[in-house]
Structure formats: structure tokens, C-alpha cells
């Protein structure tokens, strides 16, 4: 499918065009609560929404930094996809094979990208456009905090997508001519744990209920009940689509929900202090000494775990595969651009019992030959000259080391792997060494906000339990 503005541009255009109509649909019973677009600049000034805008800019830059760390670190931290496979096996493959259809694939692929971006944008925007600054704050903070919480897992606990690891499972979203370039630019395909496509909306749903509890009303009485139902409906679709499309493991949902609970507890507690900061000053945002002490100890313990367990730990062993193929499968990995001068060192190690055929070539030579999870290997390779790609047949127990140069920002290359002979399945370990592959220490620094947030929430729980204990003691006396 060809479209001049690509998947991301299309998604953002649809999101912008649908914001006001959906706001109007959800508030059809209370049109007096709506904010007109002409009043939006004044509302931004009056309610201090400038920090919401800044937050999204900061998040873009922060995510860029995380993405720059993800691939170079993999040589030191490895991956743990085999653990999840041992837990749940090939259940997601059954889901894909049972329900597979071209129409469902197209619908769910669009939904997967569109609704996630839409929830990130629309949630705070909806509350701004219906004059609810408290929930606008919480919706914006929900996006920031849950992503911060996910960073240590994304960087130090790599889990490949199901379609990379389960033989016979197709990457229905990733291996498609319309999405391939967008996906390989933005998704390392090994950030399975946690699933933020599930965790982000769960965090928002929890915040909605905590907000209603504080107001002394039920969720069914809340004026934003239809918006809450909209999020719930899309969450149900996500539960199915992330399995069907060959993206997430079912197990990925559990850490996503856990982080959503931590995020909701933190945001619900700290939003009033952040809103009152202009009047009370920055010191009002500093936790009490006991909370700081608990958060500091928690951060120290978690950082130590990264140093002594995750780095050069069990996931980095050379005989652990990170890609598995069945007969007829073609799997794809991405060589990112990190330097315009230094080549990327690529190692493909055959850790299985069957020979594999590996080719490395520019992404532009692949895009036209992938569709709905199918990769047409012969059509890709047959018109090429030997100067346009590298290839090697790797026998069991052997490895192939080569270099790939990326002299311009658009020089993204792909590694394509397929079984050379028919067998039950083939297994390889793909490792890439970038010029900036010693990013462990900065990755730990980027993980500290997650540990501090977790420690502060732990302190909140301890304080709450102490208060309940004191209350019980007073009642008994």
C-alpha cells in the first residue's frame, strides 16, 4: 500500500481530525461543558497547561535516548525470550492461526498503532476540551510515569516479539510493505516486557476509579463514564490484537498491569502537589525524609541488581537463541544507524541443529516484497547483484561475523534469516556490536527515575499501613 505521508503521518492526521468529533460524541449529553477551539489558548494560559506540552517534548527526547541505548546494550545484557517461551509455549501461535484473515490483519494493524498514539494524545486533550484540569494532569502524567517505569525492563530485560521467536508465527504487523519502514525506525522488536499498549490504558482506568473514589461517587455516576468505556473497549481489542499480530506474549501483560498500578498510585498522590507547585514552590514536591530514605534504599538495591545480575548475566550467554524459525519461515532483524563513520559488527551464530541461510541488505530492497507477514525471499534476492547484499549459509555450531557500514542516516539494513533445509526448527543468535556499545552506565542513570518512583510508591504504601495500624490501635483503646 502506498501513501505519501506514511503510517505515522496518516495516524496523526486521523487523530487530529477525529479529536473534536469524538469529544462531541462523548459529551453529547453535556454540550455546555465543551471548550471551543477559539478559547483553547486562553484555557492553556489560565490552567497552566504549558508543562503538559513540555512533557510531551521531553518524552520524545527521552524515548530517543532510550532507543539509542537499546540495541548497543544487547551484546552485554542479552535477552530472556526463552524464559517466556517456557512459561506459555505457542499459545499465541494458536490465536493467530485460528482467527487469521486478511481483513482482520488490516483492521488490527491499524488499530494497534492508531489507538495507542490516540490514547497518548487524546486522553489529556479530551479532559482539557471538557474543562477538567485535574484529569488532564493525571492523563498526561500517566504517559510520562509509566514509560519511565518501563525503562529498566526495556533496557535490561530484552524479550523478542513472538513472531521472531515462535516457529511458524508470522509478523503480521511488522512484515508489511506499508509498516516495515515505520516499524524498523521506531520499534526494536525486543521490548516485549512490559506491554505498554496494555499498561498505559490500564493506568488511565485505575486513575479514573481513584478519582471517583475521592469524589465519593461510583464510576457509573462520573461525567466521563463514556470516555472510560471507550478506553475499556479498546483495551479488550488490544488483549487480542497483541497476540494475533505476532507482537506480545500473554505474559507481557502482567508486568504492564503491575507498572500501571504503581503509576496510578504515584500520579494520583502527586498530581495535587504538582498542580499547587506555583503557589507552594518547588520544595512542596520533595518527599518527606522517611519517604526519601525508603526510595533511596530501593533505588540502590535495584541498581545493584542491574549491575550484578542483568549485565553479563544469564541472558547474555552465547548459546541462547534469540530467533527461531520453522520450515518456510523468514525472520527479520534490524541494523540501526548509530554512526556514519564506524561500521556495525554483526555476528550470527547458529545454535540449533539445522543450517540457516542469512542475507544482509538495505531495507529499501526488502520493502516491496513483504505483505501481511509473508516475506518473499526469492523475489528479494533474485534481481540483486552480489554487490547489493551479503549472504552466508551457516551450519550448526558455526557463526558468521561481518561488518555493515551506514554512511548516511537513511542506511538502515536488515538481516533476513531462513532455514536452509527442511527441519523441525532452526535457531540462531544475532548479536550486533555498535561503536557506542558501552552504554551500560548511562542506561543505569536513565533507569534511576523508575526506581525512585517505585521507592516513593513503596513509601506511600508503608505510610498508609502505619496510618491504618494507628487507627486500629486508637479504636481498640
Give CA–CA dist 187/155, Å, rounded.
13
Residues of the chain with CATH 2.60.120: 323-433
Peptide bond into 196 cis (omega under 30): no
C-alpha closest to that of 187 among 336, 388, 6? 336
Fold adopted by 323-433: Jelly Rolls (2.60.120)
Q: Alpha helices, DSSP H only, in 130-171?
A: 133-156, 162-165
Half-sphere exposure of 324 (CA within 13 A, CB side): 21
Alpha carbons 247 and 111: distance in angstroms, whole number: 13
CB 154 within 8 A of CB 121: no
Question: Phi/psi of residue 249, each to 5°?
Answer: -80, 155
| Residues 6+ away with beta carbon under 8 Å from 348 | 356, 358, 392, 394, 399, 400, 415, 417, 428, 429, 430, 431
Query: C-alpha grid cell for residue 107?
Result: 483492521
Q: Which runs of consecutive H residues, i.e. helices, occur in 219-252? A: 225-244
Residue 1: what pLDDT? 47
C-alpha cell belonging to residue 450: 523508575
Which grid cell sits at 475? Answer: 479504636
In contact, 404 and 346? CB cutoff 8 Å: yes
Digit-coded pLDDT (tens) for 211-264:
999 999 999 999 999 999 999 999 999 999 999 999 999 999 999 999 999 999
Q: Which three cell numbers stand for residue 139?
A: 492523563
Assigned C-alpha cell, 422: 527442511
Which residue stretches of the chain have pLDDT < 50?
Answer: 1
* Amino acid 5: pLDDT: 67
Angle in degrees, CA 310, 312, 314, rounded to 5 = 70
pLDDT for 283? 78
Give the whole-angstrom CA distance, residue 116 versus residue 197: 6
- Contact 99/241 with Cβ under 8 angstroms? no
Cα 307 from Cα 301, distance rounded (Å): 10
Q: Determine the 3-state secondary structure of 403 from DSSP.
A: strand
- CA Rg, the chain, in Å? 24
Closest by Cα among 134, 139, 140, 128 to 39:
128
- Asked if 241 and 110 count as a contact pair (C-beta separation under 8 A), the reply is no
308-313, long-range: CB < 8 A, 24+ apart: 310/77, 310/156, 310/157, 311/76, 311/77, 311/156, 311/440, 312/76, 312/77, 313/77, 313/78
| Whole-number Å distance between alpha carbons of 77 and 153 | 11
Let me know: does 49 contact 43? Beta carbons within 8 Å.
yes
Model confidence pTM above 0.85: yes
Summarised one tens digit per residue, pLDDT across range 42-83 is 999 999 898 888 888 888 899 989 988 999 999 899 999 999
Amino acid at each position: 500500500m502506498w501513501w505519501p505521508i506514511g503510517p505515522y503521518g496518516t495516524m496523526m492526521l486521523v487523530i487530529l481530525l477525529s479529536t473534536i468529533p469524538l469529544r462531541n460524541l462523548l459529551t453529547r449529553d453535556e454540550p455546555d461543558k465543551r471548550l471551543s477551539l477559539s478559547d483553547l489558548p486562553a484555557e492553556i494560559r489560565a490552567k497552566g497547561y504549558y508543562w503538559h506540552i513540555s512533557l510531551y517534548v521531553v518524552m520524545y527526547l527521552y524515548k530517543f535516548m532510550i532507543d539509542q541505548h537499546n540495541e548497543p546494550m544487547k551484546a552485554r545484557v542479552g535477552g530472556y525470550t526463552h524464559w517466556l517461551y517456557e512459561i506459555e509455549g505457542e499459545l499465541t501461535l494458536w490465536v493467530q492461526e485460528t482467527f487469521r484473515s486478511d481483513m482482520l490483519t488490516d483492521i488490527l494493524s491499524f488499530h494497534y498503532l492508531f489507538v495507542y498514539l490516540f490514547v497518548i494524545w487524546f486522553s489529556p486533550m479530551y479532559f482539557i476540551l471538557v474543562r477538567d484540569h485535574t484529569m488532564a494532569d493525571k492523563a498526561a502524567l500517566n504517559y510520562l510515569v509509566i514509560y519511565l517505569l518501563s525503562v529498566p525492563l526495556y533496557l535490561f530485560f530484552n524479550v523478542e516479539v513472538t513472531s521472531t521467536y515462535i516457529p511458524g508465527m508470522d509478523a503480521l504487523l511488522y512484515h508489511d510493505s506499508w509498516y516495515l519502514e515505520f516499524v524498523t525506525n521506531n520499534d526494536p522488536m525486543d521490548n516485549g516486557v512490559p506491554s505498554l499498549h496494555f499498561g498505559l490504558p490500564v493506568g488511565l482506568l485505575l486513575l479514573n476509579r481513584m478519582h471517583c473514589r475521592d469524589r465519593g461517587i461510583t464510576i457509573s455516576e462520573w461525567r466521563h463514564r463514556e470516555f472510560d468505556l471507550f478506553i475499556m473497549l479498546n483495551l479488550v481489542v488490544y488483549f487480542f490484537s497483541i497476540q494475533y499480530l505476532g507482537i506480545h506474549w500473554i505474559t507481557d501483560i502482567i508486568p504492564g498491569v503491575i507498572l500501571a498500578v504503581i503509576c496510578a498510585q504515584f500520579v494520583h498522590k502527586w498530581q495535587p502537589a504538582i498542580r499547587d507547585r506555583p503557589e507552594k514552590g518547588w520544595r512542596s514536591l520533595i518527599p518527606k525524609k522517611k519517604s526519601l530514605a525508603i526510595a533511596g534504599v530501593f533505588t540502590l538495591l535495584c541498581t545493584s541488581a542491574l549491575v550484578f545480575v542483568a549485565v553479563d548475566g544469564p541472558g547474555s550467554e552465547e548459546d541462547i537463541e534469540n530467533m527461531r524459525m520453522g520450515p518456510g519461515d523468514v525472520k527479520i532483524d534490524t541494523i540501526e544507524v548509530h554512526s556514519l563513520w564506524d561500521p556495525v559488527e554483526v555476528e550470527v551464530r547458529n545454535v540449533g541443529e539445522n543450517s540457516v541461510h542469512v542475507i544482509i541488505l538495505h531495507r529499501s530492497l526488502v520493502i516491496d516484497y513483504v505483505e501481511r507477514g509473508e516475506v518473499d525471499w526469492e523475489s528479494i534476492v533474485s534481481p540483486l547483484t552480489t554487490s547489493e547484499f551479503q549472504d552466508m549459509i551457516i551450519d550448526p555450531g558455526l557463526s558468521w561475523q561481518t561488518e555493515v557500514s551506514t554512511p548516511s542516516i537513511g542506511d538502515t539494513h536488515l538481516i533476513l534469516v531462513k532455514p536452509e533445509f527442511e527441519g523441525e526448527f532452526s535457531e540462531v543468535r544475532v548479536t550486533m556490536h555498535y561503536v557506542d556499545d558501552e552504554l551500560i552506565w548511562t542506561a543505569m542513570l536513565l533507569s534511576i527515575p523508575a526506581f525512585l518512583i517505585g521507592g516513593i510508591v513503596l513509601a506511600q504504601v508503608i505510610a498508609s499501613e502505619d496510618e491504618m495500624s494507628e487507627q486500629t490501635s486508637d479504636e481498640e483503646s
